[in-house]
Structure formats: structure tokens, C-alpha cells
Chain A
Amino acid sequence: MRDGRGTVRAPVLQFTNCRILRGRRLLRWEDLWVREGHIVDPEKLFFEERLVADQQRDCGGCILAPGFIDVQINGGFGVDFSQATEDVSSGVALVAQRILSHGVTSFCPTLVTSPPEIYHKVLPQIPVKSGGPHGAGVLGVHLEGPFISREKRGAHPEAHLRSYEANAFHDVLATYGSLDNVRIVTLAPELGRSHEVIQALTARGICVSLGHSVANLRVAEEAVQSGATFITHLFNAMLPFHHRDPGIVGLLTSDRLPPGRHIFYGMISDGMHTNPAALRIAHRAHPQGMVLVTDAVPALGLGNGRHTLGQQEVEVDGLTAYVAGTKTLSGSIAPMDVCVRHFLQATDFVMLDDSLHVRATYISGELVWQAEEARQ
């Protein structure tokens, strides 16, 4: 695109006839303007740069929402992030590409409790990566375990659970190897020396999440005071809410959090892991903290049958995934957009009569996936 002075500049795209999800509302009469992968202010463009759009895209009345970010996904389409295969990056790339059709534009590949060899082999092969036509962006790895509670291990293999009682953060480093590509660590704060570990992790910019734990509210609050900011799949793999000790769930309404800080919590809204009434209670108690996650397993996108998840075997039947031969839930196989739709039905938090089916996925203003009907 050449401007008045004849110099080439990046084209300005205008997405029209859309409803923009912003500030918890749907804006009907606004358009979305994008240039070089950034959203720009069209008023500024008009008055300061004296520019108008170079191209317009009619969104057909659809909703334009920020791309979904999945911070807990263990694999999918046959790929298991917790397996030390020869070509881990292809597996990550496959999942990254396939989840575009679910509306996910960034994700944290998640590794379940595994022996140190797995971490040492796999972690260096999952670097942070920007998204694009090739697939959703990798924000960093989510390490769920092995520093978790025995009683609340869920589908995590007991044999590989660990503690950092002996050497605190050094044990953490020894187990995982390098923390370079790590973004989130889920741990159980009742484990001895968690305070030091949480501080060390947060000092490195790693988000500490509480989960798979039997911590009571006081221990959980102390963990937050040490730097924890997230809860892994609220309600699941933790003590149930009790009116005299709300446990980790109580963090949603705790008054003992550091000032100005509030807690975020992941929820798997696949219709299986949590009763809709519980979903609503959490949302009403603390709407700004809710983060929908899929906790998807390698069986995502595949049919019923047996699949692996790290060191475990998982049985998939319909929308449920259990540790083979048990009734222990093992992740989920609901794609992110299904979770979002289910959440809409459960809580009615978005006022629209649309069905929230993903029509097209954009990363940095570039079309990276489109539904078949939309292509015509």
C-alpha cells in the first residue's frame, strides 16, 4: 500500500458488520481495525495519520471474540505431550494446527506427572512460539505435577509423585531439568517447603497454580501470599467446599489475598467434570477470575476407545474419559468451543441468541482457519 508520499506501508484491515466482545459486552456498532497484526484505533488513524482502511472484511453479523487461550491441554488427535517421542515438536505442531478450528489461538501444552527422564527429554523440545497460519501459539508449558497430593492425584500415576521436602527448589530443577520453556506449574501447597518453591518459581516469572491438593483454606491463602495466582480445575482434585473450611475453593472469596490481587481459576465446563450449578456458584462468587480450560487428553478429536495419557491408559466413551478400568475422570475430550458453549448454557453470561459456533479463527489479523460453509 502506498500512502500520499509514495512510501509503502502495511495495509489496514477493517472487519465490519460484526459484534465485538469487549469489556464484557458485545459492541454492535464498532468495527475491528487491524494493521501488522495489531489492533489499531481507527479514530487515531483517521485524525493523526489521515488513513482509511485498505481492505474490508464483512463478518456477516458474527461475533468477534478474542482468540481462546487454553492453559491446560494434555494433547489431542493422538498426540500425548507427556510422551517422549522422537519428534515432540511435530506432535505439538499438529495439535496447534488442529485446535485452530476450536477457536484456540494460544495454548500451554500440559505435561502430567511423569518421571524426570520424560521432562528432561520433552521440555527442551517445546519452545515458546508465536501463532500463525501453521497453528495456535505456544505460550509455554504447563507442568501439572509431580509435586501433588497422593490422595488427590486423580489420574496421575502414584509411582511418579514426588516431594521437594529435601531440597526445595533444587528438587524442582532436578526433576524438570530446564525451566526455560515453562509457563505454569501446578503443585499442592500443603507439601513441605512449598513456600520457598512458590517464591522461587514466581521470581522466574512462572505462574504457580494450586491443584491436586488437600490444602485447607489457610494453607491455600498462604500459598497465594507467597505468589500463587491460579487454581487448577476448580472443584476437581481438591477438598470439596465445606462451610467451616472452604479449602482451595474458598480462595474465590477470601479476604486474605494480597491487596489488589485476585485469584484466577481454571474450570472444565465440558458438562462432565462439574455440575452446572457448581459452575454457576463459582462464577457468581468471582466472575472475573474464571478461566475455561479443556484439560483435553490425546483422545480429543479421536473416537471412543483406549488411548494413553502419560504413563496411564485412558478409556474414552462419548464425552467422558476415565482412567482405564476405573471411574476416575482423566481429563476431558471436549474441545474449547464446546466448553464455551456449555458455559453459555450453564450461566447465560453472554447475551446473545447466537449458538457460538466457531466460524473462523484469526491470529494477528490473519485468517488461519475457516469453517467449510464460510469458505463459499
Chain B
Amino acid sequence: MRLVILDNYDLASEWAAKYICNRIIQFKPGQDRYFTLGLPTGSTPLGCYKKLIEYHKNGDLSFKYVKTFNMDEYVGLPRNHPESYHSYMWNNFFKHVDIDPNNAHILDGNAADLQAECDAFEKKIKEAGGIDLFVGGIGPDGHIAFNEPGSSLVSRTRLKTLAMDTILANAKYFDGDLSKVPTMALTVGVGTVMDAREVMILITGAHKAFALYKAIEEGVNHMWTVSAFQQHPRTIFVCDEDATLELRVKTVKYFKALKRGTVPTPAYSQRTCTHSGTTDS
């Protein structure tokens, strides 16, 4: 894996956004060649989305030939509920960029047949040629998407019941009222994300530190499903200092030495399609 440690949340968000931006531009997407991106929700990626929007508004990045697949969506929450992941993606990303609505895929938590909806999602990913870069986060219980502790590490997109840790973590979005938090969700499986050609996990904040430790310094374990990515050929963990608080000093020193802790080199721009200096990729 690569472990990229930035001083704070803003720098981590910016690094991640630049990485995604570079990847898309280097890919040279076009009419018959779409870049497929897997996307997360939650508070962690907000800074990254803001930066991506900034690059788009500057004219440096277009999402015209990008297809997106979100990781998950609550079951039973109306699509226009302010806490649905559809609303999240619209307000925090889609409405600010030039993505074609037909290429923005989010699971429908109100589908009549939920398993069929999940199967159809897997099919769409396959038809799109698989995911080029899957961006994700980590839960305090070490889960990726809604693959709660105990999820199969080869699982596919399916219906999951949320663990208490997750419900507690999400309560803040529902006025702190546990009874209002949805208890089920549709989610991509661990196996679904593992199929991506590249994976980037964003982890920021001290409350995620223990989960990060379990995910990368302990063994592969279905109780900490992010640990599955130890067996993925191309995974990057992007964190801030606080998220590394439970790691060994040796681990942190090693990875910091690999990357000289500065703001990443300037990103590519689709306007110029050139780059200055070296890049991290």
C-alpha cells in the first residue's frame, strides 16, 4: 500500500483531490472512453469534493466523460430527504460540476426489489468496464462502505443491516435521534471495491485512528473490513496526522520519508494537458 500522511484535514483533502484530478486527466477520457470513479459520502470526503469543484470551476477538470458509482444509500429514506445520499451527492458535488446525469449512478434504496437493484448495479459497473479508481472512507468500526464487521471479504453489492456503531456515528445527521436513523442500507461489497483497478481510502481525524491501525497494522480480518485492501495491488491511504495516532512510530516515519510531507505538486489541467515538475503518481 501507499500511506500518504498530510499535516491536517485540508491538506489531506487537497492531496486526494489532486490525485483524482491527475488520474482523470492522464486517462484522457473521451466520447468512447469514460473514466469510472467510485465515490463515498460522509464528512470525510467533503473537503475533497470542494477541491474537485474548485478545479472544475477553474476550467482545469471536466466530468463530462466521467462515470460515477456511489458506494451506498440508505434503505427506505425518500430520495429527496436531506440526509439521503442522493441529496448529499447533489448538494456537495453533482450540482457544481458538468457530469451527465445518466452517468451518475447511486443505488436506489426505495426500489421495489432491493436485491435486483443491487444486481443491476453490479451489472452497470461491469458494463462500464469496471471501476478505474474507487474512493472510499473508513468507519470507526473499520468498515468500508456499509460492510459492517463480519461482512464477507468477497461480498458483492447487497442489502445490509447497520451495526450499532454506524447508527451512533450517523445519529448526528438525524438531530441526534437514534430512532430516526435508517437501520438498513444497500452497499457495494468488499469484493466489489476490491475489483477496482485502484483504491484510495480517505481517513482523517483522531476518532478514526484506531480503525486505521486495525486496518493496516493488524491482519486481514472480516471484523475490520478495510483490512481486505492489504491484498489489493494498488491501494493508497490518505490521512491527516490525527488519524495516525494509533500507528507505530516506525510505520509513520517510514511512509513520511517516502513522501516529503509537502503539498503535492501542481495538478494536471485539462486546459493545458501538460504538467510541471514531477507528480506523485
Q: Is A57 an interface residue (CB 8 A)?
A: no
* Interface stretch (choices A40-48, A280-288, A366-374): A40-48
- A43-B79 Cα distance, complex, nearest whole Å: 10
- A190-B95 Cα distance, complex, nearest whole Å: 56
Q: Which of B65-109 contact A (CB under 8 A)?
A: 79-80, 86-87, 90-91, 94-95, 98, 100-102, 104, 106
8 Å CB contact of B102 from A41, A42, A44, A50: A50
8 Å CB contact of B101 from A31, A41, A47: A47
Q: Is A174 an interface residue (CB 8 A)?
A: no
Chain A residues near B91 (CB-CB < 8 A): 43
Chain B residues near A4 (CB-CB < 8 A): 102
- A51-B94 Cα distance, complex, nearest whole Å: 12
8 Å CB contact of B95 from A42, A49, A50, A51: A42
Contact B79 A47 (CB under 8 A): yes
Q: Which residue of A lies closest to B102 (CB)?
A: A50
> What class of interface size applies to chain B in its complex with A?
10 to 19
Q: Which residue of B lies closest to A31 (CB)?
A: B95
- A129-B87 Cα distance, complex, nearest whole Å: 38
Chain B residues near A42 (CB-CB < 8 A): 90, 95
Q: Which of A313-338 contact B (CB under 8 A)?
A: none
Contact B86 A43 (CB under 8 A): yes
Q: How far is the CB of A211 from chain B (nearest CB, A)?
A: 43
Q: Mark A32-67, 1 if CB is under 8 A from B, else 0.
A: 000000000111101101111000000000000000
Chain A residues near B104 (CB-CB < 8 A): 46
Q: Is the interface of B mostly helix, strand, loop or mixed?
A: helix
Contact A51 B90, CB 8 Å, known A43-B80, A43-B95, A44-B80: no
Q: How far is the CB of B110 from chain A (nearest CB, A)?
A: 12
Q: Which residue of A lies closest to B100 (CB)?
A: A52
Q: Which of A340-356 contact B (CB under 8 A)?
A: none
Chain B residues near A50 (CB-CB < 8 A): 101-102
Q: How far is the CB of A53 from chain B (nearest CB, A)?
A: 10
- A4-B102 Cα distance, complex, nearest whole Å: 10
Q: How far is the CB of A52 from chain B (nearest CB, A)?
A: 6
Contact B101 A51 (CB under 8 A): yes
Q: Which residue of B lies closest to A44 (CB)?
A: B80
Q: How far is the CB of A61 from chain B (nearest CB, A)?
A: 15
- A173-B79 Cα distance, complex, nearest whole Å: 52
- A44-B101 Cα distance, complex, nearest whole Å: 11
- A4-B104 Cα distance, complex, nearest whole Å: 16
Q: Which residue of A lies closest to B104 (CB)?
A: A46
- A51-B104 Cα distance, complex, nearest whole Å: 12
Q: How far is the CB of A182 from chain B (nearest CB, A)?
A: 40
Chain A residues near B106 (CB-CB < 8 A): 47
Q: Which residue of B lies closest to A14 (CB)?
A: B95
- A51-B101 Cα distance, complex, nearest whole Å: 6
Q: Which residue of B lies closest to A48 (CB)?
A: B79
- A51-B99 Cα distance, complex, nearest whole Å: 11
- A52-B101 Cα distance, complex, nearest whole Å: 7
Q: How far is the CB of A29 from chain B (nearest CB, A)?
A: 9
Q: How far is the CB of A40 from chain B (nearest CB, A)?
A: 13
Chain B residues near A47 (CB-CB < 8 A): 79, 86, 90, 101, 106
Contact A46 B79, CB 8 Å, known A51-B101, A52-B100: no
Q: Which of B177-226 contact A (CB under 8 A)?
A: none
Contact B95 A46 (CB under 8 A): yes
Q: Which residue of B lies closest to A30 (CB)?
A: B95
Q: Which residue of B lies closest to A41 (CB)?
A: B80
- A182-B104 Cα distance, complex, nearest whole Å: 51
Q: How far is the CB of B74 from chain A (nearest CB, A)?
A: 15
Q: How far is the CB of A325 from chain B (nearest CB, A)?
A: 61
- A42-B104 Cα distance, complex, nearest whole Å: 15
- A6-B158 Cα distance, complex, nearest whole Å: 36
Q: Other than the known A46-B101, A52-B101, what 6 A-B pairs have Cβ atoms closer than 8 Å?
A: A43-B87, A47-B86, A47-B90, A49-B101, A51-B101, A52-B98
Q: List 6 A-B contacts (CB under 8 A).
A: A44-B80, A46-B90, A47-B79, A47-B86, A47-B101, A52-B98
B residues with a Cβ closer than 8 A to A are: 79-80, 86-87, 90-91, 94-95, 98, 100-102, 104, 106
A residues with a Cβ closer than 8 A to B are: 4, 31, 41-44, 46-47, 49-52
Which 8 A-B pairs have CB atoms at the shortest separation, nearest pair first?
A50-B101, A43-B90, A46-B101, A50-B102, A47-B86, A46-B94, A46-B90, A52-B101
